[in-house]
Chains A and B, each alone.
Chain A
């Protein structure tokens, strides 16, 4: 991999509460290369959105980065002053959120919002900024862009609004885009259009994308690599084809097996018993051990870090050298 564009090392995020400190992210480390799409997948509360929020400096108080570092192009961007972070956001890191209606200001035309972003970050004149805004609307496939630029968000359909949001995120030509559930609010037929668009633009502009979603199907088709999160940590990370076809972590294996397949019908879906632990009740050792069919004594006592497991890396003691002779995780 070339020099990473984004590097996250040992990121820890805590929420102080009256009943003690909740650790929502605990030692999360990964990197994204320029032009690469990294999928981040996990169930609700696994910490995937929080990871994105920490990177763009939008952690909701009282959440705080309690440890680790975030590097963009080799320079640290965690703990930057709010004003410096604001300039990075939009210019160097774009963001796309789930609900296009809350991302767009309903009182301004989409043109005004695009032009303001372009002028703020690229310093273009009014006419140039407008031409560029029209260009971006054409790029994301808004028909009659020159006329539609003066329309308000409510005049667009859901899918078109999400296209506008993508234009807004990309118009300052950021090197990294954080897309948090960008297609979850959309219907399946629209979802495929938006994924194809995001993928094409990322490739054409060599923009790195951190794609956060709970939908493994979206990741499988879009991402180059995938990080599977569980209870605030990365359980497994690796090339998407390997994670999907030969998952190394028992949680990933269970997750894959529990997704109903479109190609065939099974009598019974594989299911992982129980639910992800709450932040105030994360078990000692590996957080997954109470639900893991292959847990052994070491899993209950000692917390595994990411270690090499075939083509991927998994935080699982099954892949510790002592366990080297054992079979793959999906028993």
Chain B
């Protein structure tokens, strides 16, 4: 049941860059046909993303955070059109995503930055060709001279030197490669970037460089980000709004500052409690019990109930709907009933 999209306080009258409404994505994880028929089994589906809705306003960052298997990367792939939703709709710039993807003028306005800068750059291409590919594909500059000028400008923009274009990816460190990925992503002059764990393969000091660069670029170019990460501290640094995912559902969605200051959902609270932190030298903590259940066989009712300290019979039977508290949407019976205080 899609709820009304949440409008951020600082929203302009602009339509959102991305609007995701009631999107569900199933993956078929059945055994091969013959084995399934012989064993008289039914088809088996993994519900990777379960009825999620959100919007991203122009020039802002929405982050999705969660543990492995919560469906956050699937959302990234749905948003960029690499996967199609099983149900629900995605609109980009007011148009259905499939229509938008079919038009080069709209398609070039979204791009993706991947996690692994070692796997996402072609090792046989020089950096200048890697960065020039989108420029050529969308005919954004004509003539070798103009393309070269554009590539050099992009490399400088991400903190590399123009001469680096002559090198191959293996000559760069992980952080520099991620800069090349960003230069390539910016080459099609996009407005919307989907960043799937862009710094989790990097060391902390390099991570800081890349995060600073991404925020500078956002300020300068007015970029909109969908930022996917498992690292809550990184997410806090980057986000305007935050969605916390658990087993394919967004359990809490709202302005990042509010969610971090006053987390409402028990899962968000446990997640924030669990993170090792520099400011807690030598302090004991209460670890979250249990582990994330398998998304193939999710628990009935609220998917978080087996680990939730507030769970009662209703939580075990009935899937909670999103309820709005101020600017925050929370899917939790305990919060709704006021049992969470």
Contact = CB atoms under 8 A, between A and B. Distances in A.
Contact of B288 (A193, A214, A269): A193
Interface residues of B, number: 45
Contact of B67 (A187, A245, A266): A187
Interface size class of A (residues with CB under 8 A): 35 or more
Contact of A187 (B173, B209, B230): B230
Contact of B257 (A221, A240, A259, A265): A265
Given A192-B287, A260-B234, A262-B233, A241 B205 contact: no
Interface in B276-293: 276-285, 287-289, 291-292
Interface string B227-251: 0001111101100000000000000
A244 B280 CA distance: 10
B15 interface: no
B288 A262 contact: no
Contacts of A241: 281-282
Interface string A267-279: 0111111011000
A262 B174 CA distance: 25
B321 interface: no
B212 interface: yes
B276 A215 contact: yes
A244 B237 contact: no
Interface centre among B257, B276, B287 (most CB of A within 10 A): B276
A278 to B, nearest CB: 9
B67 A188 contact: yes
B15 to A, nearest CB: 28
B270 interface: yes
Interface centre among A159, A187, A189, A261 (most CB of B within 10 A): A189
Contacts of B282: 220-221, 240-241
A125 to B, nearest CB: 35
Interface of B is mostly: helix
Nearest to A195: B276
B278 A258 contact: no
B243 to A, nearest CB: 17
B208 interface: yes
A263 B237 CA distance: 10
B237 A271 contact: no
A189 B67 contact: yes
A229 B279 CA distance: 21
A248 interface: no
A191 B276 contact: yes
Contacts of B198: none
26 contacts: A44-B203, A160-B291, A187-B68, A188-B271, A188-B274, A189-B288, A192-B287, A195-B287, A214-B203, A217-B277, A221-B280, A221-B283, A222-B276, A240-B281, A241-B282, A254-B205, A258-B204, A259-B233, A260-B234, A260-B237, A262-B260, A265-B237, A266-B237, A269-B211, A271-B209, A272-B208
Return the 6 tightest CB-CB contacts between A and B, nearest first: A217-B276, A258-B208, A43-B203, A187-B67, A192-B287, A269-B208
